Amino acid sequence: MNDLSPHSYQKIWKGAMILTLAGILTKILSAAYRVPFQNIVGDVGFYIYQQVYPFYGVAIILSTYGFPVVISKIIAEHPEEGREHAASKIRWVSFLFLSMLGFIFFFLLYLGAPSVAAFMGDMELAVLLKIVSFSFLLLPLVSVWRGSFQGLGEMTPTAVSQVSEQLFRVGTILLLAYFMVDAGFSLYEVGAGAIFGSVAGGFAAVLVLLIFYQKRKREQKQTAAPSKMLPSSKSIVKVLMLQGFTICISSLLLILFQMVDAFTIYAWLLEAGIDAQSAKELKGVYDRGQPLIQLGTVVATAFSLSLVPYIILSKDNEAEVNEKIGLSIRVSIGVGAGAAVGLAWLIKPVNRMLFANENGYDVLLVLGLSILFCSIALTGAAILQGLGNPYLPALFVGIGIGLKYCLNVLLIPSHSTLGAAISTLIAFTAVAVMMVLALKKRTGTSIFKRMPAIPLVVSVAVMSSILAIYLLLSNSIVGDSRTLATIQSILGVAIGGTVYLLLLIKNHFFTREELMLLPLGKRLAKLIR
């Protein structure tokens, strides 16, 4: 990559930043809308939606982070002369293969919906599963267009389609939920409307990509020069099959953990003798943790993943790569630890602020601690993929899912949803440890060799002490008021976050040069004496 011209380097960097910003925005939207949605439908309504959501999540990850990345890679690796011509064949072969795959997923889920719902222990979910199956029919169009644009160096269509899809989806879900609840529809019917809103978001993405495609066709003044050597159809399908799933497996980490919970928590709560209504409420309260984990992880990985392009573009310089890898993991640990511990202290007021009461705060506290290990795991997976090892992260995530399932079966009957939260924390920790050990083996250097442990421990301890005093003084004033809990939460986040960040930087957890590589790095570097 070192022989890139300054113009090519700038283009790659700009494209990476566009996709990164779009990815962060869509993840924030994907997490944030769940809060007003839960407020509209309640814990049981939230349980219904969250039982089916992981299936939609799989479709969206495959069409955003899986197949488009592989298609773009196949196109980009083709010589520039004749690339447009080669892209045409790659598009058609990919479209035919993914259409077949999409129809297989659609029919399996549509026809198997009653069996899946029965396995989950709730037959009323069958209709929702049938609706969500239609999202797989959009997989070929969205994947091929996004991958084609990215492979030809145009990142804006993918970014705009991602944000448009999420905005349309979130708006449709919230509007339908509000009006359907107000009109007196059952919670399962409201859930079906919300799932329909999710599928409708996919149509918005297709429309946006179609507009960009038509615009590009009009702007092409001459026909593409024929390529001397086109990739064979067999090789395109092989790469799509082998790499398409493995690349997106790490992105599916959170979704697949939710899938395990969807199949085990409610069914095992019933098995433990809890009545259906109470089991649904318990699962709905447990699911409050999903947006908290997602938002916390987005904050932590937004900084650490911003360093991955540096790692990819510096592959030939081993010392520089090792340095950037160590910094990426250190950033995920530093930010992730602050987010996890800070949320643990503030979980009661945050729970009341977002969800109107403190139900299940102990479960959410444990789930919140997993932000740290989830951040490390996602950062490690992105680095390993950037270094050309997409299969290891997929293997580690697979092991983590197996561990999560076994622990759920073991802990839920005796510890209810707290057991599921503990299993999530343990499984995320296991995946994070495997990722870090794999990076150590790959680079030959210990990630923790340069880890300034004392500044980290001091920063966490001081933040914890200040938040403990703050809660002690403010709890008596807040009482049961949701408004005051909101003020208490926002002030607590501001106080804890500021103190933690200042101490981390002042105690040289990062050097000035390292800070300059991060988003807002110039401002943060001024804090170092």
Contact 197, 60 (CB under 8 A): no
Whole-number Å distance between alpha carbons of 443 and 319: 9
Whole-number Å distance between alpha carbons of 394 and 65: 13
Which pTM does this prediction carry?
Answer: 0.87
Look up residue 511 and give its amino acid: T
Residue from 382, 294, 304 nearest 26 by CA: 294
Identify the pLDDT of residue 499.
92
Whole-number Å distance between alpha carbons of 127 and 132: 9
Tens of pLDDT along 246-268? 777 777 888 999 999 999 999 99
pLDDT in tens, the chain (529 residues): 444 445 554 555 566 667 677 777 888 888 888 999 999 999 999 999 999 999 999 988 888 877 888 888 888 777 666 667 777 888 888 899 999 999 999 999 999 999 999 999 999 999 999 999 999 998 888 888 888 888 877 778 888 888 888 899 999 999 999 999 999 999 999 999 999 998 888 888 889 888 888 887 776 655 555 555 677 778 888 888 877 777 777 778 889 999 999 999 999 999 988 999 999 999 999 999 998 998 888 877 776 666 666 666 666 667 777 777 878 888 888 889 999 999 999 999 999 999 988 899 999 999 999 999 999 998 888 888 877 777 888 899 999 999 999 999 999 999 999 999 999 999 999 999 999 899 888 777 666 666 778 888 999 999 999 999 999 999 888 888 899 999 999 999 999 999 998 888 888 777 777 777 666 666 666 666 5
Identify the pLDDT of residue 1.
41
521 Cβ contact list (under 8 Å, min separation 6): 515
242 Cβ contact list (under 8 Å, min separation 6): none
Contact 50, 284 (CB under 8 A): yes
Task: Please compute, for residue 159, the number of CA atoms within 13 A of its CA located in the half-sphere on the CB side.
Answer: 15
104: how many CB neighbours lie within 10 A of its CB? 11
Distances (CA, A) of 517 to 148, 306, 309: 30, 8, 11
Give the CA radius of gyration of the chain.
Answer: 24
Alpha helices in 121-186 (DSSP H): 126-132, 139-151, 156-182
Tokens of residue 341, six digits: 């511990």
Whole-number Å distance between alpha carbons of 313 and 278: 53
Distances (CA, A) of 43 to 284, 287, 434: 4, 8, 35
Identify the pLDDT of residue 2.
45
Whole-number Å distance between alpha carbons of 194 and 192: 5
CA angle 394, 399, 402 (to 5 degrees): 125
Whole-number Å distance between alpha carbons of 19 and 25: 10
